[in-house]
């Protein structure tokens, strides 16, 4: 079974619609992240969370919101989707155990298209 799962894997929606992307993990990691990837721009951080009570904005948080429902679940919402939010979205997790830090493990991604 995959350690980090994302649903849905593909989604086509229309401008103005609200959409939620979900991420679940069984790795037991405290930290979770949402990234978007656009061709030529690499991975850009949207939001990150260190635990259920801690939510932080990344470099491109405008137009997005998140919810950390449990240690294992971190959801990303687009309140009113717009076409330039069309991208590949990844969830990632990490922890600080064993002296290794910042290693992040990625989910399979969600391909979102906003028409």
Partner 1 sequence: QKEVEQNSGPLSVPEGAIASLNCTYSDRGSQSFFWYRQYSGKSPELIMSIYSNGDKEDGRFTAQLNKASQYVSLLIRDSQPSDSATYLCAVGSNTVKLIFGSGTRLQVFP
Is 76 in contact with 87 (CB distance < 8 Å)? no
Residue 65 C-beta: closest distance to partner 1, Å:
18
Asked if 63 touches partner 1 (CB under 8 A), the answer is: no
Burial of 32 from C-beta contacts in 10 A (0-12 / 13-18 / 19+): buried
DSSP state of 83: G
Please work out the total of residues on this chain that contact partner 1, with binding judged by CB under 8 A: 22
Asked if 93 touches partner 1 (CB under 8 A), the answer is: no
Binding footprint of partner 1 on the chain (CB under 8 A): 33, 40-43, 45, 48, 58, 88, 90, 96, 100-109, 111
């Amino acid at each position: 079974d995959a350690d980090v799962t994302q649903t849905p894997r593909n989604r086509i929606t229309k401008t103005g619609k609200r959409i939620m992307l979900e991420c679940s993990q069984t790795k037991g990691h405290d930290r979770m992240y949402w990234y978007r990837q656009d061709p030529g721009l690499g991975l850009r951080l949207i939001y990150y969370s260190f635990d259920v009570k801690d939510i932080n904005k990344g470099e491109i948080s405008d137009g997005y919101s998140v919810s950390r429902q449990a240690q294992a679940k971190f959801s990303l919402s687009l309140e009113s989707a717009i076409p330039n939010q069309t991208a590949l979205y990844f969830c990632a997790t990490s922890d600080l155990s064993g002296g290794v830090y910042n290693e992040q493990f990625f989910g399979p991604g969600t391909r979102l298209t906003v028409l």
